Amino acid sequence: MSKEYRSPHADDYSDNPIRKIGVLTSGGDAPGMNAALRAVVRTAIFYRREVVGIYQGYKGLIEKNFKNMVSGDVSNIIQLGGTILKSARCKEFHLREVREMAYNHLKEEGIDALVVIGGDGTFTGARIFAQEFGIPIVGVPGTIDNDLFGTDFTIGYDTALNTIIEAVDKIRDTATAHERLFFIEVMGRDAGFLALNGGIASGAEAVLIPETSTDITTLENYIKSGYRKSKNSSIVLVAEGEKAGGAFGIAKQVEENFPQYDVRVTVLGHIQRGGSPTAFDRILASRLGVASVEALLDDQQSVMVGISNDAVELTPFNKAIKYDKEVNTKLLDTIHILSS
């Protein structure tokens, strides 16, 4: 028997003492952060809470760069890349006295709780801040790297993946025209999700990721067998954190052994962070934004909201940051089989 649907009500959390919620975006920006922000603001307002936007991540907390948000402030942003609140990397927040100043600014403004949208660094800072000053904080995973434990996907990952395949498709056209071997570097300092799934989706001949050691002989064999089968171009995706020197390092080694190949390197760089979020990221961001405010009003703190198997899950910051979300290295077999 299916459970009867009950729609949320504005009074659902009326007993909770949190009255004013601050929200910020921090660390590397990711497409879909705006959609998450929109959801946080609208959900807080739905439950009759005030909501304050904090500009430039933790920097805005220190500089007291705040703005009271109304529903109209987040109109027309669901489709925008970047973040209208701006983001920043803020070294000063590592200092206790600076965090104390940030806390005083929250008190002065009457902000009772925070939603932080960002990656593992953002949650590390949030965990320390919450522990020191007892402020409830809930995190929303916004990073293109998909490297947080406790959610199947992070906001921005799907858009970045689509940007990668669009770029690789274009590079393949020119690679084929000139019979070239291309090493394409994609983002992922510590995690190979973008390279691995980008490689499958773009039909790459091989993928090199930080989680596995790069065996140059095996790579060369793939390339050789590809050419033997008269493939007239080859694409290898390299995660930036790959340990043998990234795309330039690998290309140099291969070039020395195969002078007959016309080797080229492309680093995709920051285009991977930009662009309008995909439908998947907009939906993920909207669901997580709603869930973050509901979690705070449900007395949750120092947790990240995530979605696993289509259900909202809460994971303590500590686990979300420290537990490794493992890449499925079986996907390397998929690439190997399909490029044979």
Interface positions with ligand ATP (CB under 6 A): 26-28, 58, 89-90, 93-94, 118-122, 124-125, 128, 143, 145
Residue number of the CB closest to ligand ATP reads 121
Q: Which two tokens stand for residue 299?
A: 């007395």
Task: Give the single-character DSSP code of 135.
Answer: -
Of 197 and 214, which CB lies nearer to ligand ATP in the complex structure? 197
Q: Which two tokens stand for residue 167?
A: 């770029």
Distance CA 14, CA 291 (A): 17
**Tally of residues, the chain:** 340
Minimum CB separation from ligand ATP for residue 37, in Å? 15
Spatial strand order in the sheet of 20-25:
66-68, 50-54, 20-25, 113-118, 137-141, 303-308, 311-316
Of 124 and 278, which CB lies nearer to ligand ATP in the complex structure? 124
Query: Residues with Cβ < 8 Å from 96, sequence gap 6 or more?
Result: 132
Minimum CB separation from ligand ATP for residue 150, in Å? 14
Q: Which two tokens stand for residue 138?
A: 């809930």
Minimum CB separation from ligand ATP for residue 146, in Å? 10
Of 27 and 53, which CB lies nearer to ligand ATP in the complex structure? 27
Dihedral sign of CA atoms 208, 211, 213, 218 in order:
negative
Of 27 and 81, which CB lies nearer to ligand ATP in the complex structure? 27
Q: Which residue, 273, 306, 311, is CA-closest to 123? A: 306
Minimum CB separation from ligand ATP for residue 270, in Å? 12
Minimum CB separation from ligand ATP for residue 58, in Å? 4
Q: Which phi and psi (to 5°) does residue 54 adopt? A: -110, 120
**What are the residue numbers of the active site?**
145
Place of tokens 């009074």: 11
Of 46 and 133, which CB lies nearer to ligand ATP in the complex structure? 133
Spatial strand order in the sheet of 180-186:
206-208, 234-239, 180-186, 262-267
